[in-house]
Amino acid sequence: DRLDRYLRAQLSLTDGMERATQEHESILAACEAGDAEHAAALTYDHVQDAKASLLNYLKQKREKT
């Protein structure tokens, strides 16, 4: 129920929109090609990278204060 705020934070604070768009297009292409395993792997990587990006941003902000 709190996911939306973290998604918005990750996208806006880390300038992640362009990267997210590219990753979503790759996931869609894998789905359209019928390659479920590749789509699943891309989705997993996408979520993990978004998490890492936000955590890294927050860590850097904490270190600056």
Domain tally for the chain? 1
Token pair in block for residue 32: 């359209």
Measured between alpha carbons, how far is 59 from 14 in angstroms, rounded to an integer? Answer: 12
Residue numbers of the domain that contains 44: 3-64
Global pTM value: 0.77
Q: What is the pLDDT of residues 19-64, one digit of tens each?
A: 889 999 999 999 999 999 999 999 999 999 888 888 888 888 888 8
Given a contact cutoff of 8 angstroms between Cβ atoms, the answer to whether 27 and 42 are in contact is yes
Structure tokens at 23: 């990753």
Residue 64 burial class via C-beta count within 10 angstroms: exposed 0-12, middle 13-18, buried 19 and up = exposed
pLDDT above 70 (res 1): no
Amino acid at 32: E
